[in-house]
Amino acid sequence: MSVLITGGAGFIGSHAAVEFLNAGYEIVIMDNFSNSKPVVLDRIKQITGKDFKFYRADLLDLASLDKIFDENPEIDSVIHFAGLKAVGESVSKPLEYYHNNVTGTLMLCDSMRRHGVKTIVFSSSATVYGAPDEVPIKESARVGNATNPYGETKVMIERILKDIYVSDKEWNVSVLRYFNPIGAHKSGLIGEDPNGIPNNLMPYITKVAGGKLPYLHVFGNDYNTHDGTGVRDYIHVVDLARAHLKALESIKERRGIDYFNIGTGTGYSVLDIVKAYKEATGVEIKYEIEGRRPGDIDACFADPTKAREILGWTAEYDITDMCRDSNNWQRNNPNGYGE
């Protein structure tokens, strides 16, 4: 049997591909390279010493999806990462985000159903909780008041997958709600390589560390947190990747549909991260305190109890590991994967 990984050349998808190959799975990767580069595929092979089939394909092209399942009848499950994921961009391009993420997932599920593939692990996000009523956040927390179109696509896709499951109980659905993925594989061969100026904190910090950007803009220090800067649950991307292995194993055994918060359960502020980065790498990150970024919330971190109890998964890497590995990736790849 084998696993189809959509978006498998992306930041999280490539780390998941490594973990699935290392765990002995046969995998097929599909990616349209809209936010990734072909060289990532070589890096995955270099890290694992293993080969896999790849299709340059788009979720919106039903014929290309059918071709993948037709040519690989041994695929029995899908890990679904492919999607646009920039919060700010989604506000200015809602049509593109709803079409690509929601329509794309509908096409994927249609092709899966027609090929008898009814097991999926879906890459969702803590963004579905919007501004949480309380932290730490449990899976039972209110979902649906996402503060941006990107988050809304995740809310909608979760609802679609639930309705598919209700209509046909042969489906097995595991929804993983990520908190803040950072870090990189210890080899420094794969990592986060956002297009343009990074929106997220850690890739911005690593570019400051690498001299590509002059200083970090800290978006607000008047939040209701221990030091006034925003608190988030940062999780090492390898820990996150491994959660997908556990989720697939669990849903195949337990069957049905389930939801899991994938975080460490510990919140760190922006200034905590700046301090941790210095301690982990010796690099001082210059910063300026500025105004709040629209849409940001004070604090967001997970209660990871359910993932521990049901999936047998907990995060193994700490914030020092995350800073060290992010820095290592950037130092080894100052221009990311290049042009």
Residues at the contact surface with ligand WQD, assessed by CB under 6 A: 85, 87, 125, 127, 178, 180, 199-201, 204, 217-219, 230, 232, 270, 293, 296
Q: Least distance (Å) from ligand WQD to the CB of residue 313?
A: 18
Helix (H, G, I), strand (E, B) or coil at 272: helix
Q: Which segments of the chain does DSSP mark as H helices, in order?
A: 11-22, 39-48, 62-71, 87-92, 94-97, 104-114, 149-167, 201-209, 237-254, 270-281, 305-306, 319-332
Cβ count near 244 (within 10 Å): 26
150 is catalytic: yes
Return the DSSP state at 102.
I
Could you give the C-alpha distances from 108 to 56, 160, 194, in angstroms and in order? 15, 12, 25
* Residue 16 or 75 having the CB closest to ligand WQD: 16
Could you give the C-alpha distances from 285 to 91, 120, 192, 282, in angstroms and in order? 29, 40, 19, 10
Helix (H, G, I), strand (E, B) or coil at 1: coil
Closest residue to ligand WQD using C-beta atoms: 230
* Residue 21 or 151 having the CB closest to ligand WQD: 151
Six-digit token string for 294: 């629209």
Q: Least distance (Å) from ligand WQD to the CB of residue 129?
A: 10
Could you give the C-alpha distances from 116 to 112, 231, 257, 269, in angstroms and in order? 6, 43, 17, 45
* Residue 142 or 169 having the CB closest to ligand WQD: 142
Exactly one of 97, 150, 234, 259 is catalytic; name it: 150
* Residue 231 or 245 having the CB closest to ligand WQD: 231
Q: Least distance (Å) from ligand WQD to the CB of residue 113?
A: 26
Q: Least distance (Å) from ligand WQD to the CB of residue 294?
A: 10
Residues near 289 by beta carbon (within 8 Å), at least 6 away in sequence = 218, 220, 221
Q: Least distance (Å) from ligand WQD to the CB of residue 32?
A: 18
Q: What angle do CA 241, 294, 80 make, to 5 degrees?
A: 25
* Residue 78 or 203 having the CB closest to ligand WQD: 203
* Residue 76 or 296 having the CB closest to ligand WQD: 296
Q: Least distance (Å) from ligand WQD to the CB of residue 270?
A: 5
* End-to-end Cα distance, the chain: 35
Task: Cite the active site residues.
Answer: 150
